[in-house]
Amino acid sequence: MIESIEVLKRLQSLKTKINELKKDQERRKQDVQKKKTQIEDKGALAVKRREEKLSIQKEIDSKELDMKSDEGEITKYNVQLNSIKTNKEYTALCTEIGSKKADMSILEDEILNFMTRLESVNEEYKKLQEDLRREEESLKDLIESVNADVKETDIEIEKTQHDQKKYIDALDENSLNHYNRLSNIKGGKAVVAVLGNVCGGCSMNITAQTLNLLMGGNKLVFCQSCSRILYLEENKGSEAGKMAAS
Ligand SMILES: [Zn+2]
Ligand 1 centre to CA of 223 (Å) is: 5
Question: pLDDT tens across 35-65, in order?
Answer: 999 999 999 999 999 999 999 999 999 999 9
Ligand 1 centroid to Cα of residue 161, in Å, is 28
- Expressed in angstroms, the distance from the first to the final Cα of the chain is 26
State phi, psi for 230 to the nearest 5 degrees. -105, 155
Tell how far the Cα of 75 is from the centroid of ligand 1, in angstroms. 99
Rounded Cα gap, residues 4 and 37, in angstroms? 49
Residue 207 has pLDDT above 80, yes or no: yes
Q: Which fold has domain 20-170?
A: Helix Hairpins (1.10.287)
Give the pLDDT score at 246: 39
pLDDT exceeds 70 at position 243: no
**Where along the chain do the CATH 1.10.287.1490 domains lie?**
20-170
Over range 166-188, report the average pLDDT: 94
Tell me what percent of the residues of the chain surpass a pLDDT of 70: 94
Q: What spacing in Å lies between the alpha carbon of 210 and ligand 1's midpoint?
A: 11
Q: What is the pLDDT of residue 233?
A: 82
- Give 84 Cα–ligand 1 centroid separation in angstroms: 111
Centre of ligand 1 to C-alpha 224, Å, is 7
- 172 Cβ contact list (under 8 Å, min separation 6): 4
Q: Is 87 exposed, middle or buried (0-12, 13-18, 19+ CB in 10 A)?
A: exposed
